[in-house]
């Protein structure tokens, strides 16, 4: 009697040149596979400049992979790259088990990690957009859905392998996401009414954004060593030492070559990034591929039209950095940057001071004459910025203040000169 497996056995496949970046990408694939819940029972690498157009590896290497799959009794092959529908189908025909590419693996992790209604809808939408070009018309693609990496999500709804039906479902999902997004927009509008500037935490997955939010706010946002622990945005109020407060939102982590459909599907969620007054880019300062990870974050921010926002760069995990001199040199050369250890609460006071300094640069200086019946607006100036002068006259209150941009809009009609 065969033992029932509870964990999938995966072979990782990659094309490589032997570079440090290749090794980093393979380590990242291992982390993604671990996060998806599979055991890695083998690695299969081939040195070639570009993928084979028909089967990614080429016929000979694909047959070698088949032998390896049989030898280790693997359930799934995970490819460290994106496959065309033809490559995926041909490779599966040779190796005899499911073949999952990097995009499908990431989508699967998102399917497991999505908890809110909006998150689940967004993941299903991204999966269906990925699936449409892979429909063969025979039902072969969908017939295997329902268990294992690359099969979670839309398979559970038993969708028929019909392009029109799937496109109808895509249209329905888009409408549902828009409905949920409108509800969240109302919540965001209410939040924007508060007299606080807003910041969005961005960064490569596992850089420590959630840990930092917990440290700054004293909250208990879920922290996990696995990738993509945070899918649904979480906002907390952070009070700075000088008494100012800022609303900080934790957002989904980025990754190299983040699937375009995933960025598109999560665009409503990622509006937290585009609408924030400034960004806090959390970087894993101890990672060997730190520069590549920062570049990947920059690429996604550019895709969201948020690359030019005022940004504070926070080099996290400084306690794990062997050469502290190099880290300090990087920080010294980069404006609006600090190094910290969010987990060990090292450098937090310097970070708070740097955020206060950045906020100061975002404030708008105003000369106001506020009528006594709107004296509440004077309190608003104190709450949202810095009052430099307040003079009470027979006709009203003369105020010189530096306030946040959203508050400046409310006070504009009372401006002098």
129 and 229 in a single domain? The answer is: no
The Cβ of residue 285 has, within 10 Å, a number of other Cβ atoms equal to 24
In our burial notation (b when 16+ CB lie closer than 10 A, e otherwise), range 93-123 reads ebbebbbbbbbbbbbbbbbbbbeeebbbbbb
Residue 388, CB half-sphere, CA atoms under 13 Å: how many?
11
In a domain, 190, yes or no: no
Give the Cα separation of 15 and 93 in Å (integer).
20
- Work out the number of other CB atoms within 10 angstroms of the CB of residue 15: 19
Q: Are 271 and 116 in contact (CB under 8 A)?
A: no
Write down which residue in 71, 100, 129 finishes a domain. 100
Whether residues 233 and 293 share a domain: the answer is yes
pLDDT of residue 281: 96
Cα–Cα dist 301/297, whole Å: 6
Average pLDDT over residues 166-171: 86
Domain annotation covers residue 2: no
Residues 380 and 276 in one domain: no
Residues 224 and 114 in one domain: no
Tell me the pLDDT of the chain averaged across its residues: 83
pLDDT tens for 284-327 read 999 888 998 999 999 989 988 888 999 999 999 999 998 888 88
Within-domain flag for 189? no
Range name among 32-46, 252-266, 345-359 with the lowest pLDDT average = 252-266
Domain count, the chain: 4
Query: Strand, coil or helix: what is 333?
Result: helix
Is 313 exposed, middle or buried, given 0-12, 13-18 or 19+ CB atoms closer than 10 A? buried
Q: Residue 49, Cβ neighbours under 10 Å: how many?
A: 6
CATH number of the domain that 370 lies in?
Answer: 3.30.70
Residue 194 — pLDDT band, cuts 50, 70, 90? low
Please tell me whether residues 146 and 270 are part of one structural domain: no
pLDDT digits (tens, 9 = 90+) for 72-115: 999 999 999 999 999 999 999 999 999 999 999 988 888 887 77
Report if residue 292 sits inside a domain: yes
Residues 90 and 117 occupy one common structural domain: no
Question: What CATH number does the domain containing 349 carry?
Answer: 3.40.50.300
CA distances from 242 to 311, 348, 385 (A): 20, 14, 10
Residue 288's pLDDT is 85
- Whether residue 352 sits in one domain with residue 226: yes
Q: Can you tell me the mean pLDDT for 249-253?
A: 83
Which DSSP symbol is given to 253?
A: P
Domain range holding 314?
A: 195-361
In a domain, 3, yes or no: no
Q: 407 vs 53, which has greater pLDDT?
A: 53
Q: Are residues 265 and 397 in the same domain?
A: no
Q: Is 186 among the domain residues?
A: no
In a domain, 409, yes or no: yes
pLDDT in tens, 381-392: 887 677 889 999
Task: Out of 361, 376, 396, pick the residue that ends a domain.
Answer: 361
Tell me, what CATH number does 73's domain have?
A: 3.40.50.2300
Please indicate, yes or no, whether residues 316 and 374 belong to a single structural domain of this protein: no
Q: Does residue 70 share a domain with residue 35? A: yes
Give the model's pLDDT for residue 1: 44
Residue 4 lies in a domain: no
Per-residue pLDDT of 197-225, as tens digits, reads 889 999 998 899 989 998 998 876 655 55
Parallel, antiparallel, or unpaired: how do β-strands 9-15 and 337-339 relate? unpaired
Sign of CA dihedral 10, 13, 19, 25: negative
- Same structural domain, 263 and 251: yes
User: In terms of domains, do 173 and 212 share one?
Assistant: no
Alpha-carbon gap, residue 76 to 86, rounded angstroms: 18
Residue 367 vs residue 242, higher pLDDT: 367
Q: How far apart are CA 178 and CA 172, in angstroms?
A: 10
Among 100, 121, 153, residue at a domain's last position: 100
Q: Whole-model pTM above 0.85? A: no
């Amino acid at each position: 009697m065969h033992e029932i497996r509870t964990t999938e056995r995966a072979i990782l496949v990659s094309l490589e040149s032997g570079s440090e970046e290749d090794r980093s990408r393979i380590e990242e694939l291992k982390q993604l596979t671990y996060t998806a819940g599979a055991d890695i029972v083998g690695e299969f690498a081939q040195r070639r400049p570009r993928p084979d157009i028909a089967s990614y590896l080429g016929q000979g290497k694909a047959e070698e992979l088949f032998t390896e799959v049989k030898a280790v009794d693997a359930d799934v092959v995970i490819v460290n790259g994106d496959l065309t529908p033809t490559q995926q189908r041909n490779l599966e025909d040779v190796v005899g088990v499911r073949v999952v590419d990097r995009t499908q693996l990431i989508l699967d992790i998102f399917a497991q990690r999505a908890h809110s209604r909006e998150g689940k809808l967004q993941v299903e939408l991204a999966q269906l957009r990925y699936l449409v070009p892979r429909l063969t018309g025979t039902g072969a693609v969908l017939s295997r859905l329902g268990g294992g990496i690359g099969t979670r999500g839309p398979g559970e709804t038993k969708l028929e392998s019909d392009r029109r039906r799937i496109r109808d479902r895509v249209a329905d999902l888009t409408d549902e996401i828009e409905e949920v997004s409108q509800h969240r927009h109302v919540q965001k509008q209410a939040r924007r009414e508060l007299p606080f500037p807003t910041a969005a935490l961005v960064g490569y997955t596992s850089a420590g954004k959630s840990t930092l939010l917990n440290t700054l706010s004293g909250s208990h946002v879920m922290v996990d060593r696995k990738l993509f622990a945070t899918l649904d945005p979480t906002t907390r109020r952070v009070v700075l030492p000088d008494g100012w407060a800022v609303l900080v939102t934790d957002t989904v982590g980025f990754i190299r070559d983040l699937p375009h459909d995933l960025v598109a599907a999560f665009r409503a969620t990622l509006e937290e990034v585009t609408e924030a007054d400034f960004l806090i880019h959390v970087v894993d300062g101890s990672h060997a591929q730190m520069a590549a990870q920062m570049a990947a974050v920059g690429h996604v921010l550019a895709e969201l039209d948020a690359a030019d926002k005022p940004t504070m760069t926070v080099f996290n995990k400084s306690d794990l950095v062997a050469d502290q001199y190099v880290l300090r040199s990087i920080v010294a050369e980069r404006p609006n940057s600090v190094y910290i250890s969010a987990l060990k609460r090292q450098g937090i006071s310097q970070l708070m001071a740097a955020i206060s300094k950045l906020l100061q640069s975002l404030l708008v200086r105003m000369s106001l004459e506020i009528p006594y019946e709107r004296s509440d607006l004077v309190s608003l100036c104190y709450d949202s910025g810095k009052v430099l002068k307040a003079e009470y006259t027979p006709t009203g209150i003369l105020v010189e203040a530096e306030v946040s941009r959203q508050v400046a809009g409310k006070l504009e009609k009372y401006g002098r000169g």
